Amino acid sequence: MLDVSIIKCLSDNYSYLIRDRITNLVAIVDPSEFEVVDDKIQKTYKRLDFILNTHHHEDHIGGNLKLKKKYNSKIVCSSYDEKKIPKSDIKKRDGDIFSLGATDFLVLHVPGHTLGHIVFYSKNDNIVFTGDTLDQ
């Protein structure tokens, strides 16, 4: 099971701070800016194990490098975008699994918004982190 906190970033973006309840591993999805995300991390968990990126646009990776440096986090991204996301550590392809402790995410390649766009889907938690693949 996951705990999920929504963080409003920039003027019209959101990042998602997630924690696996069993292992207490913590990740952020698409951290567009360092300060607001770091503030939430400090107020809640004081740790960040992983940074999950759905695609390479700056409004989704803008906080990556400062967060990685401060928390020694691992950056998880699409293998299709690995050259576009600086200092990425874990590269995933369509159909791969990324495990955040006891929470497994199926990685799905969904080109369209960008050629390398991926989503992170957890069937057990009934949640998907889509980046910019869905519109309201």
**Per-residue pLDDT tens digits for 52-83:** 999 998 889 999 999 999 999 999 999 998 89
27 pairs with which residues across the strands?
A: 18, 50
Tell me the average pLDDT across 83-108: 97
Please choose, from the candidates 23, 42, 7, 12, the residue with its C-alpha nearest in 3D space to the C-alpha of residue 104: 23
pLDDT digits (tens, 9 = 90+) for 18-27: 999 999 999 9
Cα 50 to the center of its chain, rounded Å: 7
Confidence of residue 134 (pLDDT cuts 50, 70, 90): low
Under 8 Å between Cβ of 5 and 40 = yes
pTM over the 0.85 mark:
yes
Give the pair of three-digit tokens for residue 117.
């766009």
